[in-house]
């Protein structure tokens, strides 16, 4: 019950939700735009994308903190850990391309995030618990009572965020948009899709040359994980954030 939990939302979510745990490698991609007049509503929290588990709530969140930074955070345990993705100075007035690679596992998984082709965050370890995971995006405003207490008599400002080009695939090649020659990600080398390579050597009849949309889910062949370098796990700045408050 969002109202009972001091929460409100406007979200879109995956239509098909697996009744069985999701396992193995998955790729996700979306593009997001924060207008120039986007307002931070701290001490309330705003989640703009999340990987949630059925009946268990969010496992990973992409949220705006007190300083106006977009963070990715792990909510699988009470401690949590966060890494910064987009600084406040770069957040507004431009499109951002977000790519996420996740090896879903309740023991030894990996989650990596790229923003505009640059690797910004990575986690190793448990990436889910029940692993009945689904993706959603939009605006989820949490802990609204904290805003009301901090600013009595002030209405929450309207927030608008734009999204486009949502993708999910077993292969990174399945994320490529029709009008881009390739998808380049820092620190990741793409293994060619055998089916795609074979198609280059086949002359197709004219009736089959029309461009078709990329499928939502492609071959079950697993893409080669990137070579990882150590990136420090960060906590959100504490100068303006209470000890129990993450971004």
What residue has token string 């309740």? 106
Strand order in the sheet with 57-64: 8-13, 133-142, 45-53, 57-64, 70-74, 81-86
Question: Which has the higher per-residue pLDDT, 210 or 52?
Answer: 52
The mean predicted confidence, pLDDT, of the chain is 78
Q: Given this model, what pLDDT does residue 186 score?
A: 94
The pTM of the full predicted model, rounded to 2 decimals, is: 0.75
Q: Given this model, what pLDDT does residue 5 score?
A: 53
Domain count, the chain: 1
Q: How confident is the model at residue 235 (pLDDT cuts 50, 70, 90)?
A: very low
- 8 falls within a domain: yes
- 75 falls within a domain: yes
CATH at 36: 2.60.120.200
H or E element: which one contains 196?
A: helix 194-199
Least confident of 34-43, 52-61, 223-232: 223-232
Token pair belonging to 183: 């998808």
Q: Given this model, what pLDDT does residue 194 score?
A: 42
- 135 falls within a domain: yes
Token pair belonging to 210: 């029309």
CA distance 227 to 17: 31
3-state SS assignment for residue 204: coil
**Host domain of residue 231:** 1-240
> What percentage of the chain carries pLDDT values higher than 70?
72
| In the predicted structure, residue 13 carries a pLDDT above the cut 80 | yes
Residue 71 near residue 82 (C-beta atoms within 8 A) = yes
Nearest to 45 by CA among 13, 71, 80, 81: 71
In tens, the pLDDT along 183-224 reads 999 998 754 544 444 343 333 433 333 333 333 333 333 343
CA distance 84 to 113: 10
Q: Given this model, what pLDDT does residue 128 score?
A: 93
| In the predicted structure, residue 36 carries a pLDDT above the cut 70 | yes
- 118 falls within a domain: yes
- 245 falls within a domain: no
Q: Given this model, what pLDDT does residue 201 score?
A: 39
Question: Which has the higher per-residue pLDDT, 242 or 8?
Answer: 8
- 246 falls within a domain: no
In tens, the pLDDT along 117-164 reads 999 999 999 999 999 999 999 999 988 999 999 999 999 999 999 999
What residue has token string 């120039």? 36
Tell me the average pLDDT across 12-18. 76
Determine phi and psi for 150, rounding to 5 degrees: -75, -30
- 210 falls within a domain: yes
H or E element: which one contains 141?
A: strand 133-142
In tens, the pLDDT along 98-118 reads 999 999 999 999 999 999 999
| In the predicted structure, residue 170 carries a pLDDT above the cut 90 | yes
Alpha-carbon separation of residue 51 from 36, 96, 110, 208, 242 (angstroms): 27, 19, 14, 37, 25
CA distance 139 to 8: 8
- 247 falls within a domain: no
How many Å from the N-terminal Cα to the C-terminal Cα in the chain? Answer: 23
| DSSP assigned state of 115 | E
| CA dihedral over 55, 144, 79, 228, signed as positive or negative | positive
């Amino acid at each position: 019950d969002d109202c009972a939990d001091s929460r409100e939302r406007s979200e879109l979510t995956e239509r098909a939700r697996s009744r069985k745990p999701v396992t193995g490698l998955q790729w996700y991609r979306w593009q997001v735009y924060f207008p120039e007049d986007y307002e931070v509503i701290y001490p309330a929290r705003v989640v703009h994308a999340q990987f949630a588990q059925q009946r268990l709530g969010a496992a990973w969140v992409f949220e705006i903190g007190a300083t106006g930074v977009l963070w990715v955070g792990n909510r699988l345990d009470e401690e949590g850990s966060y890494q910064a993705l987009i600084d406040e100075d770069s957040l507004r007035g431009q499109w951002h391309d977000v790519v996420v690679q996740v090896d879903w596992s309740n023991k030894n998984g990996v989650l990596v995030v790229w923003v505009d082709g640059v690797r910004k965050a990575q986690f190793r370890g448990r990436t889910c618990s029940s692993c009945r995971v689904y993706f959603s995006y939009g605006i989820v405003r949490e802990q609204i009572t904290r805003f009301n207490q901090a600013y009595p008599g002030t209405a929450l400002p309207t927030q608008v965020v734009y999204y486009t080009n949502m993708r999910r695939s077993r292969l990174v090649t399945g994320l490529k948009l029709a009008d881009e020659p390739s998808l380049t990600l820092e620190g990741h080398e793409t293994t060619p899709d055998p089916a795609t390579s074979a198609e280059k050597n086949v002359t197709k009849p004219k009736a089959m040359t029309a461009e078709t949309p990329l499928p939502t889910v492609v071959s079950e062949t697993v893409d080669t994980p990137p070579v990882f370098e150590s990136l420090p796990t960060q906590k959100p700045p504490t100068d303006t954030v209470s000890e129990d408050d993450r971004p």
